[in-house]
Amino acid sequence: MRILVVEDDDRVARGLVTALRHAGYDVHRVGTVADAVSAPPVDVVLLDMGLPDGSGLEVLRRLRDSGTAVIAVTARGEERDRVLGLRAGADDYVVKPFGTAELLARIEAVLRRTRKARAEVSDAEAVEVGPLKLDSATRAVSVQGRELALTRKEFDLLALLAARPGQVVSRDLIMDQVWQASYEAPTRTLDTHVAALRGKLGGLVRIETVRGVGYRLVG
């Protein structure tokens, strides 16, 4: 397990790094926002909220949606930092000064929670419709075990249809979800992508046109 310690106080950082290495973690330490956001990916970030070149909140914003667990490290009495940190996506917080035992317990707890959340997400992301298998986590698609090479938009379109097998998905919803509402793509863009997908699916899984409404995936 890799841990990034973001802490500008050398004395505090040294103590943390020693304790975490002793507990068996692979530890990397930085002291600024700039170094924190350019550090290689880790499993857990211990994030001091007060850094010389900015706030820990900037680091939290960059890490959002990355799947990295973050524990905010705040000074006693800085309740505002804790609240803002939790709102910005921190998984937990500790208040300085804290003991090693408390910190290790919190690290283990956030790791357990993020592992569980990841397992649940990947279950939901794997879909099967007849001979079609589609995995949103890896963006892998196969028909009867044969891998298909899809473009990004083809994948997004197929994933949307496969999430509701046998049901009609309207052109409006597809344009909104796959091409985003703000982007005025000509409607023939959708027809072109459907035609390309039909070719790649080879008739083993069909995309039916529901005239004037949209499309339906039939396995």
| Residues within the interface to Ca ion (CB under 5 A) | 8, 48, 50
CB of 77 vs Ca ion, minimal distance in Å: 14
What is residue 13's three-state secondary structure?
helix
Q: Which is nearer to Ca ion, 11 or 188 (CB)?
A: 11
Q: What is the largest CA-CA distance in the chain?
A: 69
Q: Which is nearer to Ca ion, 27 or 72 (CB)?
A: 72
Q: How many CB atoms lie within 10 A of CB 7?
A: 24
CB of 127 vs Ca ion, minimal distance in Å: 46
Q: Which is nearer to Ca ion, 43 or 48 (CB)?
A: 48
CB of 204 vs Ca ion, minimal distance in Å: 59
Distance CA 71, CA 13 (A): 15
Q: How many CB atoms lie within 10 A of CB 66?
A: 12
Which residue carries 């899984």 as its tokens? 205
Q: Which is nearer to Ca ion, 75 or 195 (CB)?
A: 75
Residue number with the shortest CB distance to Ca ion? Answer: 50
CB of 72 vs Ca ion, minimal distance in Å: 12
CB of 49 vs Ca ion, minimal distance in Å: 7
CB < 8 Å & 24+ apart, contacts of 126-132: 127/159, 127/162, 127/163, 129/162, 129/165, 129/205, 129/217, 129/219, 130/204, 130/205, 130/218, 130/219, 131/204, 131/205, 131/219, 132/162, 132/201, 132/204, 132/205, 132/217, 132/219
Q: Which is nearer to Ca ion, 13 or 159 (CB)?
A: 13
Distance from first CA to last CA of the chain, Å, rounded? 41
CB of 48 vs Ca ion, minimal distance in Å: 4
